[in-house]
Structure 1
Amino acid sequence: MSLLRVSSLSKSFGGLKAVDDVSFDLEAGQLLALLGPNGAGKSTCFNMVNGQLQPSSGSIRLDDHELVGKRPRDIWRLGVGRTFQIAATFNSMTVLENVQMALVSRERKTFGLWKPAGSRYADEAMTLLEQVGMGADANRACGVLAYGDVKRVELAIALANRPKLLLMDEPTAGMAPKERNELMALTKRLVTEHKIGVLFTEHSMDVVFAYADRLIVLARGKLIAEGDAETIRNDARVQEVYFGTGKTFQPRAPLHEAAGGPQEQGALQ
Structure 2
Amino acid sequence: MITFSVRGLRKSYGGVPAVREMDLDLRPGEILALIGPNGAGKSTCFNMMTGQVVPDAGSIRLFGRELIGLKPRQIWRLGVGRTFQITATFASLTVLENLQLALISHHHRIRALLARAGSLYRDEALALLRLVGMEPQADRPCSILAYGDLKRVELALALTNDPKLLLMDEPTAGMAPRERIELMRLVARIVGERNICMLFTEHDMDVVFAHATSIMVLNRGRLVTRGSPGEVRDNAEVQAIYLGSGAVYDADAVKGVA
* CA RMSD after TM alignment: 1.4
List structure 1 runs of 4+ shifted beyond 3 angstroms: none
In the alignment, which residue of structure 1 is the partner of 2:202? 202
User: Is contact 2:210–2:255 with CA below 8 Å preserved after alignment?
Assistant: no
Q: Which amino acid aligns with 2:68?
A: V
- Deviation of 1:252 after TM superposition, in Å, equals 10
**Residue 253 of structure 1: how far off its partner (Å):** 8.6
CA-CA distance at 1:249 after TM superposition: 2.7
* CA offsets 1:142-196 (integer angstroms, 9 cap, x no match): 1111111111111111101000001100100000000011000000000000011
Evaluate the alpha carbon distance shift between residue 189 and residue 47 of structure 1 in structure 2; reply closer, same or farther with a 3 A threshold: same
- 1:143 partnered with 2:135: no
Paired position in structure 2 for 1:188? 188
Structure 1 SS opposite 2:52? coil
Give deviations 1:107-164, integer Å, cap 9, x for gaps.
1111224532111110000000000011111111111111111111111111010000
2:61 counterpart of 1:68: no
* Other structure's SS at 2:110 match: coil
Name the TM-score, length of structure 1 as normaliser: 0.93
* Aligned CA distance change for structure 1 residues 52 and 160 (closer, same or farther; 3 Å): same
Aligned length in residues: 258
* Per-residue deviation, 1:220: 1.3
Query: Mind listing any 5+ residue stretches in structure 2 that lack a counterpart?
Result: none
Give the structure with the larger helix fraction.
2
Which residue is 1:247 aligned to? 246
Cross-structure match for 1:89: 89
- What does residue range 1-269 of structure 1 map to in structure 2 within 5 Å? 1-113=1-113, 115-244=115-244, 246-251=245-250, 254-257=253-256, 260=258
**Residues 1:252 and 1:202: Cα distance change in structure 2 (over 3 Å):** closer
Unaligned segments of structure 1, at least 5 residues: 261-269
Structure 1: distance between partners of 2:152 and 2:243: 30
Distance 2:50 2:114 in 1: 33
Give the % identical residues: 56
TM-score by length of 2: 0.96
Q: What one-letter code is carried by the residue in structure 1 that aligns with 2:129? A: L
